[in-house]
Amino acid sequence: MNQAAASPAVTFLLFTVASFLMLRYALRTFAQNDRARYAAPVMIFVGVVSGTLFFRMQLGQYYIWFLMIIALIIFSWHAKSRLDDKKILELAGKTEAPKKTGRPTMANKDGTSDIVQHYTMTRRLLSFGLVSYIAAFSGTFYYLFTAAN
């Protein structure tokens, strides 16, 4: 009996789910282990591998759909990860008594401004890593696609 290969649509959906899970794991790992500075180089490598697999699986007809889904995931993460300084300090457990302005103080003596700066820099580095993934994926797929034609 002849086994039929999975349809391209099912393969695309599985590839997209695997990519989402990988991106989610990478973000969590880089953020929790304080390794956000390695996000971009690793995500570039992963993007090249993903773009190559995408091309080899002959999923080119779903390229725009993949980019839209991954972009929506990235925009969603970026919006959810945006916190104001007060919320960051509350989560860190380091809020001082508010001044007359009603805003928490950002004194350097107890490191609170360092917490806000560290969070902001981590978020920027992770965002850059995600954008690097998309750029590497797109560049690799485009190169392989045009070289084959």
Residue 23 has pLDDT above 50, yes or no: yes
pLDDT at residue 31, as a whole number: 87
Q: Of residues 139 and 6, which shows the higher confidence score?
A: 139
Instruction: Report CA-CA distances (Å) from 135 to 19, 79, 132.
Output: 15, 20, 5
SS3 sequence of the chain: CCCCCCCHHHHHHHHHHHHHHHHHHHHHHHHHCCCHHHHHHHHHHHHHHHHHHHHHCCCHHHHHHHHHHHHHHHHHHHHHCCCCHHHHHHHHCCCCCCCCCCCCCCCCCCCHHHHHHHHHHHHHHHHHHHHHHHHHHHHHHHHHHHHHC
CB 16 within 8 A of CB 66: yes
Average pLDDT over residues 125-147: 95
Place 89 in a pLDDT band, splitting at 50, 70 and 90: low
Single-letter amino acid, residue 21: L
The residue-averaged pLDDT of 68-95 equals 78
CA atoms within 13 A on the CB side of 30: 25
User: Maximum CA pair distance of the chain?
Assistant: 79
pLDDT > 50? residue 125: yes
pLDDT at 117: 82
pTM: 0.78
- pLDDT > 90 fraction of the chain, expressed in percent and rounded: 58
Instruction: Identify the pLDDT of residue 34.
Output: 86
Q: Which of 134, 131, 146 has its CA nearest to residue 55?
A: 146
Q: Please, which pLDDT band fits residue 113 given cuts at 50, 70 and 90?
A: confident
- 33 band by pLDDT with thresholds 50, 70 and 90: confident
**Residue 91 vs residues 33, 97, 104, 112, 119: alpha-carbon distances, Å:** 17, 15, 13, 11, 11
Region 35-48: what's the mean pLDDT?
Answer: 95
